[in-house]
Structure 1
Amino acid sequence: MSRLAFVLALLLLPWPAQADAVVLKGDFVQGGLVIGNTTPSDQVFLDEKRVEVSANGWFVFGFGWDFKDTASLKIRHKDGAEEAQTFKIDKRVYKTEEVTGLPPSKVTPSKEFLARIRKENGEIARIRGISTDKDWFLSGWDWPAEGRISGVFGSQRVLNGVPKRPHFGLDIAAPVGTAVVASTDGTVRLVETDLFYTGGTIMIDHGHGLVSVYSHLSQLNVTVGQFVAQGTKIGEIGMTGRATGPHLDWRLNWFDQRLDPELLLKKVPQN
């Protein structure tokens, strides 16, 4: 009989549950995040990719917006023994969103902007690749701003009539100057006032490859390397970059997997 059990934790279940169990809590769905706990000496693999395990046994993984039907989690013990479990990943049906009124240069950039865009994207990709064993994400998740939901994760964007990539964030519309706070504990990795697409942008590292992005800001109140606790004001809503109105575009990534931050939240705050 297997000496290891995979436990899917319910909201009311204290966790980690027991030393010989892998406890998993989260959403096994496209865009979902899962937090796990195991014996700290274990090695964890998601579809053969090594997953960071902290000194307290915590680990995380996520499923992008178009993730395949299943995922396999493998645990390798200190003595070399292995246990594995395959999980079904639920598919989602996404909306189509039409956005009009954008400057043509923001829909189809001219050649003069391409070098700038590549440089900015390279730095963003570098930060998304950061891996630490810090458990800052254990502070939980809260809304980064109060406002109206104006855009949702995974929706197909049609910009000025031109089909574009899906939207990978959650848009919160509110007046310019509305406070934006850190949704989770973490360390600031990027602070830029004028990125081509996202304008005023902050990226925060929450540990284990989890990075959140706050875009279109009018004001930025943090510096690179600064640790921010959940609820700390980091900036203010604006309409910088590619935006037709004041809003916050809030995103969450696990390395190259685009996650839906709304799945982590309980209710929608309204002005």
Structure 2
Amino acid sequence: MSERSTCTCATALLCLLLIGGTSAAAASTPLPHDAQQGQLIAATTAPGSIVHLGEREVRVGADGHFVFGIERDAPPELTITIRRTNGKTEQHRIAVVQRDYRIERVDGLPQHTVTPDPELAKRIAEEQARVAAARKRDDDRNDYLSGFVRPAQGRISGVYGSQRIDNGVPKSPHYGLDIAVPTGTPVKAPANGVVSFVATNLVLTGGTVLIDHGRGLTSSFLHLSRVDVNVGDRVKQGEVFAAAGATGRASGPHVHWGFNWFDVRLDPALLPGR
């Protein structure tokens, strides 16, 4: 029988990061009994083990660290399968806390970004494909282990998972945390990382920066008025790399902080802080 973390759901990730950061060589794999939709899970196992989340293989680092994310609409239970180098296989079941997502109505957006014509829609699809490609990066780095800080301080004007009604038109859920701040407010890196994508004029997201924290984890920052970094730059936690704005499809100046495990969109509000 495998060891389990005794952390509560609200503090599970921080506890796992602390455990994982000091026990990379341990054979046990601390995993929570439960977690929320949109939550990041981090743990360790014996180096060389093979880990699957359902049918999806999860990369295990040379130090035994691994991470995965629970998507917005994940079912009530997930199964993690771990096959160790000695051939032994273990299964861990995580009960997924189902969340109620609010409906958010946003008016005053540029209408051409809400109902684009065919030519603009094609451009939007191409731009989003470029962003998706950047999120496939899979570095064997542990920058996420130091925890995260808010990229800016201000009123929370938008939350993860909410169903968006933009200018009266139902759109995709909102995948991020919006922090209302004046244009020009410094935006800080929430954790160490490498800049993996930069653009200044995307149709939907305007000034856009992605910071890769290792193992498929990326922070995305949208609607920026200024970008001070280039692809490949190394940034440190707390370092200013851009300025807030209202570029792209935005009704006012704010910092949009999104967080992904590859293509799985997670809730920045659930990330462990320092």
User: Is TM-score (shorter-chain normalized) higher than 0.5?
Assistant: yes
* CA displacement, residues 195-248 of structure 1 (integer Å, 9 cap, x when unaligned): 110000000111111111001000101110011111111100011000111001
4+ residue runs of structure 1 moved beyond 4 angstroms? 8-14
- So what's the TM-score if we normalise by structure 2? 0.91
More displaced stretch, 24-33 vs 194-203: 24-33
Q: Given that residues 25 and 35 in structure 1 are in contact (C-alpha distance below 8 angstroms), is that contact kept between their aligned partners in structure 2?
A: no
> Which residue of 138, 142, 160 corresponds with 2:167?
160
Give the letter for the 2:80 counterpart: L
Whole-angstrom distance in 2 between the partners of 1:85 and 1:6: 9
Match of 1:197 in 2: 204
Report the CA distance between 1:26 and its aligned residue.
10
1:260 Cα deviation from its structure 2 partner = 0.3
Give the Cα separation in 2 of the matches to 1:257 and 1:26: 21
Deviation at 1:25?
Answer: 6.1
2:131 aligns with: 124
Tell me how far apart the structure 1 counterparts of residues 44 and 32 of structure 2 sit (CA, whole Å): 9
3-state SS, counterpart of residue 74 of structure 1: strand
Q: 8 Å contact 2:33–2:95 — kept in the other structure? A: no
Higher mean C-alpha deviation, range 25-34 or range 61-70:
25-34
SS state of the match for residue 116, structure 1? helix
Equivalent positions of 1:28-39 (< 5 A) are 28-39=35-46
- Residue 151 of structure 1 is matched in structure 2 by 158
Please state how far the C-alpha of 1:173 moved relative to its aligned partner: 0.6
Change (3 A) 1:7 1:213: same
CA distance 1:107–1:118, change in 2 (3 Å): same
Q: What is the rounded CA distance, in whole Å, between the counterparts of 1:231 and 1:133 in structure 2?
A: 22
Gaps of 5+ in 2: none
- 1:127 CA drift (Å): 1.2
1:15 to 6, 11, 19: 19
Q: Look up the match of 2:63.
A: 56
Offset, 1:59: 0.7
Q: Would you say the 8 A contact 1:26–1:32 is kept in 2?
A: no
Report the Cα distance in structure 2 between the residues aligned to 1:266 and 1:124, rounded to whole angstroms: 26
Structure 1: how far apart are the matches of 2:181 and 2:202?
Answer: 21
CA contact (8 A) 1:26 1:34 kept: no
Partner of 2:188: 181
Aligned residue pairs total 265
- The aligned counterpart of 1:226 is 233
- The two structures, once aligned, show a CA RMSD in angstroms of 1.9
Aligned-partner residue type, residue 228 of structure 1:
V
Structure 1 residues not aligned, in runs of 5+? none
In 2, are the aligned partners of 1:194 and 1:200 still within 8 Å (CA)?
Answer: yes
Distance apart, 1:87 and its partner CA: 1.3
| Conservation of the 8 A alpha-carbon contact between 1:141 and 1:183 | yes
Change (3 A) 1:194 1:8: farther
Amino acid at match of 1:5: E
Equivalent AA in structure 1 for residue 57 of structure 2? R
SS at match of 2:78: strand
Q: Distance in 1 between matches of 2:138 and 2:129?
A: 17
SS at match of 1:123: helix
User: C-alpha distance in 1, partners of 2:264/2:27?
Assistant: 29
**Secondary structure of the residue that 1:175 maps to in structure 2?**
coil
Q: Of Structure 1 and Structure 2, which has the larger fraction of its residues in helix?
A: 2
**C-alpha contact 1:218 1:237 (8 A) present in aligned 2:** yes
How high is the sequence identity, in percent, across the aligned residues?
A: 45
1:102 correspondence with 2:100: no
Deviations 1:4-59 (CA, angstroms, capped at 9, x unpaired): 43335466685147623102369711111111111112111111311111122111
TM, length-normalised to structure 1: 0.92
What CA deviation, in whole Å up to 9, does each residue of 1:95-127 have, x standing for no partner?
Answer: 111111112101111112122111111111111
Helix, strand or coil at the partner of 1:171: strand
Match of 1:71 among 66, 78, 81: 78
After superposing the two structures, state which structure 1 stretch, 41-50 or 22-31, moved more.
22-31
SS at match of 1:22: coil
